[in-house]
């Protein structure tokens, strides 16, 4: 078990290093000069030179790379030219917002895709199954930015039900930071209105992500359920006189969990990439928006940091899932140990 964990951690570390290397060189290949950009159009050559020197951009590429990697090993993600702070400081500020959106969307996605899959798998090929397939397919077919903007149009401009963007109303006081999740912190502060406000702000961005992923998620869960329905232990369960609901919830779901988990892990990767886009659409103050704004001024360090952080997120999720398998399915216990 320990050896297994160790192997996975080393593997994860290698992936992270590879991502860092690739994004570093990709960012340097872009024929743009962040120093010039930052100095402005009328800046003198000296000013640009000075900014360049300040950020080490005048040194040769191998040297820049070496110092970046050394910094990285020490946990230093570099400086942001735009915010004039260390990227780590920025991440501390922006990461909780992203994590909250991601977690909320993920839970919503799991709950909805799973319920739809259960409904669809009851009578494969029936009307309910067909309707669910059609609706989720349409949801996936709509481009994310268009979907986000359409939701904004209806729920903000037309109905005035939900806010246009951001994470919290500007005029209200933000609850004291404990977990960094506004939903949790507002409850800890005992403020129901703050809780409802953050919930309202979460709704549209989360809905945009979930609607986009729903078709694949539902289809995968549905397939897993249908496959399990034809297993022989289901015949045994019927032979024992169990009701269809009991067979579904006590036997089939439990067995379908590991294939669904595998599919879900994959989906989580997509979800991370959609979050960045959705943050931009909804002006959500997370690392996606932070990296996007940095990228616009050719401020590289935050962009590389985003790549590393999201890869780390994916690696961690994979590890957690690997650790979950033996809990869910007693037969795979031996693989880890």
Contact with another protein (CB under 8 A): which of 196, 233, 249, 296?
A: 233
First to last CA, the chain: 4
Can you tell me the distance from the alpha carbon of 65 to that of 77, in angstroms, rounded to the nearest whole number? 12
Residues 298-337 binding another protein (CB under 8 A) are 328-331
**Which of 43-51, 165-173, 242-250, 263-271 is the region at the interface with another protein (rule: CB under 8 A)?**
242-250
Q: Which stretch binds another protein (CB under 8 A): 85-93, 181-189, 216-224, 241-249?
A: 241-249
Select the span of 37-45, 133-141, 228-236, 298-306 touching another protein (CB under 8 A).
228-236
C-beta closer to another protein: residue 21 or 328: 328
Residue 232 binding another protein, by CB under 8 A: yes
Options 236, 273, 316, 335; binder of another protein; rule CB under 8 A: 236
Which bin fits 124, alpha (ψ -120 to 50), beta or left (φ > 0)?
beta
Contacting another protein (CB under 8 A), which of 237, 260, 304, 309? Answer: 237
Residue among 284, 143, 271 nearest 204 (CA):
284
Question: How near is the Cβ of 262 to another protein at its closest, in Å?
Answer: 15
Q: Give the C-alpha separation, 304 to 121, whole Å.
A: 43
Q: Residue 110 class from Cβ within 10 Å (0-12 exposed, 13-18 middle, 19+ buried)?
A: middle
Q: Which runs of consecutive H residues, i.e. helices, occur in 284-328? A: 287-296, 300-328
- Left if phi > 0, otherwise alpha if psi is -120 to 50, otherwise beta: which for 201? alpha
- Supply the Cα-derived Rg of the chain in whole angstroms: 24
Nearer to another protein, 8 or 231 (CB): 231
Distance of alpha carbon 294 from alpha carbon 298, whole angstroms: 6
Q: Does 123 bind another protein (CB under 8 A)?
A: no
Residue from the set 242, 261, 297, 319 that interacts with another protein by CB under 8 A? 242
Residue 62 or 241 with smaller CB distance to another protein: 241
Q: Which of residues 243-272 bind another protein (CB under 8 A)?
A: 243, 246, 250-251, 254-255
Q: How far is the CB of 227 from another protein (least distance, A)?
A: 13
Instruction: Give whichever of 190 and 241 is closer to another protein, judged by the CB atom.
Output: 241
What distance in Å separates the CA atoms of residue 4 and residue 99, rounded to the nearest whole number?
A: 27
Does 73 bind another protein (CB under 8 A)? Our answer is no
Rounded to an integer, what distance in angstroms lies between the CA atom of residue 86 and that of residue 80?
6
162, 206 Cβ separation under 8 angstroms:
no
Residue with smaller CB distance to another protein, 7 or 250: 250
Residue ranges binding another protein (CB under 8 A): 231-233, 235-243, 246, 250-251, 254-255, 328-331
């Amino acid at each position: 078990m320990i050896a297994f964990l160790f192997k996975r951690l080393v593997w994860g570390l290698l992936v992270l290093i590879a991502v860092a290397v690739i994004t570093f060189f990709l960012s340097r290949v872009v024929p743009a000069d962040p120093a010039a950009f930052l100095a402005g159009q009328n800046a003198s050559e000296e000013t640009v030179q000075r900014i360049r020197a300040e950020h080490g951009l005048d040194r040769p590429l191998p040297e820049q790379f070496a110092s970046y990697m050394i910094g990285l090993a020490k946990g230093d993600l570099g400086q942001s030219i735009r915010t004039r702070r260390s990227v780590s400081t920025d991440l501390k500020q922006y990461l909780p917002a992203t994590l909250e959106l991601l977690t909320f969307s993920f839970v919503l996605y799991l709950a909805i895709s799973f319920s739809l899959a259960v409904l669809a798998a009851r009578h494969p090929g029936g009307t309910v199954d067909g309707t669910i397939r059609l609706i989720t397919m349409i949801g996936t077919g709509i481009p994310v930015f268009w979907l986000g903007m359409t939701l904004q149009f209806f729920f903000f401009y037309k109905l005035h039900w939900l806010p246009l963007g951001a994470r919290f109303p500007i005029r209200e006081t933000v609850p004291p930071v404990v977990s960094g999740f506004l939903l949790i912190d507002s409850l800890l502060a005992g403020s129901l209105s703050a809780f409802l406000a953050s919930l309202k702000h979460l709704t549209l961005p989360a809905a945009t992500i979930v609607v986009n992923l729903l078709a694949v998620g539902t289809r995968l869960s549905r397939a897993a359920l249908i496959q399990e329905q034809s297993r022989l232990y289901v015949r045994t369960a019927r032979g024992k006189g169990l009701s269809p609901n009991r067979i579904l919830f006590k036997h089939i779901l439990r067995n379908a969990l590991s294939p669904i988990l595998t599919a879900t892990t994959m989906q989580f990767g997509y979800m991370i990439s959609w979050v960045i886009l959705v943050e931009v659409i909804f002006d959500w103050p997370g690392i996606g928006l932070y990296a996007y704004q940095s990228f616009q001024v050719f401020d590289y360090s935050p962009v590389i940091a985003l790549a590393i952080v999201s890869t780390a997120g994916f690696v961690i999720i994979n590890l957690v899932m690997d650790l979950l398998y033996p809990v869910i399915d007693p037969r795979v216990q031996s693989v880890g140990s």
